[in-house]
Amino acid sequence: MNNNKILTIQDVSCVGQCSLTVALPILSACSLETAILPSSVLSNHTAFSEFTFCDLTDEMPKIMSAWKNQGISFSAVYTGYLGNLNQVAHVKSIMGSLLDENGVKIVDPAMADSGKLYTGFDDAYVESMKELCATADIILPNITEACLLTGIPYKNSFDKQYVEELIGALKNLFSAKIVLTGVGVTEGTTGVAIYDGANIEYYEHIKIGLGSHGTGDVFASAFTGAYMNSKSLLEAAKIAADFTVLCIKATTKDHWYGVSFEKCLPELIEMLK
């Protein structure tokens, strides 16, 4: 690939090991030139008891226009948490005008986990995420996000039939390839279900604890990094899942707000070889 330059659009949570503070180091470790477009700046992510929030929606068209004037383009755009539903129109416009031919649109509809929307989001936000997913080449929802996107009620424990019902509903709504995360259909496991446009494949691994904050962003960033290093959808999802497990294992129990992914970057680099 001549221009392997990725743009990732998500918030800067100054403290909290999520979104851009995770995506930028992970994508860089994957040897990808990474441009960032911060959707908002928060003191820390919204799972803390208090946070500040500075909305950068109005900056988006200005930044896009500067890039356009200078002929800057990207081989992939990967989006995560957007702080405002009005950003979806700007993101679509960036994807429409700054992506190279055959550029890849990867959308992590980061808005919910464990059956609940993140603080500050509502049904209107879900509707705009649906709009964004409709334009994507690859979507990376977790089970909760898949439920919100499809209207299927959330279940805490589930079987293959439920997973395939979710994937079926997602593929009816969107033309994107699907990487569904948090999928454990065997006791004590979690993992991913991948729909590549034809078949569904599963990759399961051991489930550690009840789920750690920020793992969705670690997974999505490592997936994007591996996929843009010419790994297949399944290979990239396996690498991202294995890397996420290593990060959880490297995190001490008292470290609640994120995972210690930094210690595991050498292993990610190794996995890409």
Q: Six-digit token pair at 21?
A: 């503070």
Q: Distance of CA 18 to CAs 67, 124, 190, Å?
A: 26, 23, 21
Q: Please, which residues have CB within 8 angstroms of residue 19's CB and are 6 or more apart in sequence?
A: 10, 11, 12, 13, 45, 80, 81, 110, 217
Report the nearest approach of ligand PXL to the CB of residue 22 (Å): 8
Burial environment of residue 7 by CB neighbours within 10 A (0 to 12, 13 to 18, 19 or more): buried
Q: Considering the complex, what minimum distance in angstroms separates the CB of residue 77 from ligand PXL? A: 17
Backbone torsion region of residue 82, taken as left when φ is above 0, otherwise alpha when ψ lies between -120 and 50, otherwise beta: beta
Q: Which is nearer to ligand PXL, 84 or 229 (CB)?
A: 84
Of 11 and 243, CB closest to ligand PXL: 11
Using Cβ positions, the residue closest to ligand PXL within the complex turns out to be: 46
| 23 vs 239, beta carbon nearer ligand PXL | 23
Residue 199 CB, nearest distance to ligand PXL (Å)? Answer: 29
For ligand PXL, the closer CB: 45 or 238: 45
Q: Any idea what DSSP says for residue 16?
A: S
Instruction: List, in order, residues 6 or more apart from 119 with CB less than 8 Å away.
Output: 46, 47
Nearer to ligand PXL, 42 or 85 (CB): 42
Question: Which residues contribute to the site for ligand PXL (CB under 6 A)?
Answer: 11, 13, 18-19, 42, 45-47, 81, 110, 118, 214, 216-217
Dig out the tokens for 181 from the structure: 């995360």
Q: How far is CA 233 from the centre of its chain?
A: 14
Half-sphere exposure of 234 toward its Cβ, with a 13 Å CA cutoff? 10
Least distance between ligand PXL and beta carbon 220 (Å): 9
Q: Minimum distance from CB of 19 to ligand PXL (Å)?
A: 4
> What is the C-alpha separation between 43 and 14, in angstroms, rounded?
5
Question: Is 220 in contact with 206 (CB distance < 8 Å)?
Answer: no
Query: Quick check: 137 and 130 in contact, CB under 8 A?
Result: no
- Which DSSP letter does residue 142 get? B
Q: Based on CB atoms, which residue is closest to ligand PXL, 43 or 135?
A: 43
In the structure encoding, which two tokens stand for residue 168, read together? 């079926």
